[in-house]
Chain A
């Protein structure tokens, strides 16, 4: 859990640099709830779970796509939130912090489950898989599933080559569709820092993609 305590470290010089004013998350209504949860208030923790459970489920579903495991991963995410909430230091918004825990948890899951076979079951429950198998011609089905799943597999492999922070920023930017300005507000970093970090992450992704094209085995996720 040590990596979670220093989510998005902010070098000292950055606070003076140009960019938007940092949001003081401690003095927001949500900050008050977090402080109560940090002091062991169960009701406050329940409020946090209920506020963000739908969001966490949809993040996990976006990454993992295996319906049966989404709830298990979400439970694990909130258990981690519970055990490490005392380390949350208000540098970023709570949802940014939870987002990072969620993405890390998904990657843990993918590592454990050797994703390749699992994603083939994709969105569908076992009953649905059986139904599709009986109705859709195998050729069409395989092409549709292959395209989507190959893309997902490929993207997850590329993202695995980034640091946790870069992965978080890239996902917030390209998957969640946040602007650089919003990212600055969510993470407590200034816009220039966000741009530099995104640029490095994009370069790293390009390199990983080139390596993957040359030698598919080398960028195994």
Chain B
């Protein structure tokens, strides 16, 4: 679009241009098809936009402000410390503590039952060690066992 049209475009479209400005622009539009087409499209779109104009005065239903307040309260994030004041928070915390206690207690009791005969004394440990078969004349199976153990460990 040529500068002569650009400069007075808003006044021209709003029909508030002075007679001289109007003549100047219209004179250019007569000889310039490019500007003529573009201005015409702009006029058409400006006219189209009026479809969004409100048709009638809107009556706001009573109590609108309190409904806005309610929405604001719904959307206000609760502060972190508010959780501590919530009775449900206390109930949940107490329940969680009880559950942990119960679990720990259960674990301690079940571990204790494995040692139903009591903690093995030194003599028991020696007896267990002495029970392990020792075969100095045939070390091969032991070496094989060691190799198997090592291989499975690295895997």
Assess the B49–A206 pair: CB atoms within 8 A.
Answer: no
Assess the B64–A71 pair: CB atoms within 8 A.
Answer: yes
CA distance A25 to B120 in the complex (A): 88
For the A-B complex, the count of residue pairs with Cβ-Cβ distances under 8 Å equals 95
Assess the A57–B45 pair: CB atoms within 8 A.
Answer: no
The 8 A CB mask of A139-157 against B (1 = contact, 0 = none) is 0000000001001101110
**Smallest Cβ-Cβ distance to B60: which chain A residue:** A53
The 8 A CB mask of B41-81 against A (1 = contact, 0 = none) is 11001101111111101101100110110011001000000
Assess the B71–A206 pair: CB atoms within 8 A.
Answer: no
Assess the A58–B45 pair: CB atoms within 8 A.
Answer: no
Residues of A within 8 A of B10 (CB): 180, 195, 198-199
Would you call A120 an interface residue if the criterion is a C-beta within 8 Å of the partner chain's C-beta atoms?
A: no
Residues of B within 8 A of A54 (CB): 57-58, 60
Shortest Cβ distance from residue B79 to the other chain A in the assembled complex, whole angstroms? 15
Assess the A179–B49 pair: CB atoms within 8 A.
Answer: no
Residues of A within 8 A of B112 (CB): none
Would you call A76 an interface residue if the criterion is a C-beta within 8 Å of the partner chain's C-beta atoms?
A: yes
Shortest Cβ distance from residue A85 to the other chain B in the assembled complex, whole angstroms? 11
Would you call A70 an interface residue if the criterion is a C-beta within 8 Å of the partner chain's C-beta atoms?
A: yes
Shortest Cβ distance from residue B19 to the other chain A in the assembled complex, whole angstroms? 19
CA distance A110 to B76 in the complex (A): 25
Residues of A within 8 A of B53 (CB): 62, 175
Would you call B16 an interface residue if the criterion is a C-beta within 8 Å of the partner chain's C-beta atoms?
A: yes
Assess the B49–A174 pair: CB atoms within 8 A.
Answer: yes
**Smallest Cβ-Cβ distance to B6: which chain A residue:** A199
CA distance A209 to B47 in the complex (A): 14
Shortest Cβ distance from residue B120 to the other chain A in the assembled complex, whole angstroms? 69
A-B contact pairs, 28 of them (CB 8 A): A50-B65, A53-B65, A54-B57, A57-B60, A59-B54, A61-B54, A62-B52, A62-B55, A74-B64, A75-B68, A76-B71, A79-B71, A79-B72, A152-B51, A155-B52, A171-B49, A171-B52, A174-B46, A175-B49, A180-B14, A199-B6, A199-B10, A205-B42, A205-B45, A206-B38, A206-B45, A209-B41, A209-B45
Extra contacts, 19 of them, besides A151-B51, A179-B14 (Cβ < 8 A), are A49-B64, A53-B60, A54-B60, A57-B58, A58-B58, A61-B58, A70-B58, A71-B64, A78-B68, A82-B72, A83-B75, A123-B55, A154-B48, A174-B46, A175-B53, A179-B16, A195-B9, A199-B9, A203-B38
Residues of A near any B CB (own CB < 8 A): 46, 49-50, 53-54, 57-59, 61-63, 70-71, 74-76, 78-79, 82-83, 123, 148, 151-152, 154-156, 158-159, 170-171, 174-175, 179-180, 195, 198-199, 202-203, 205-206, 209-210
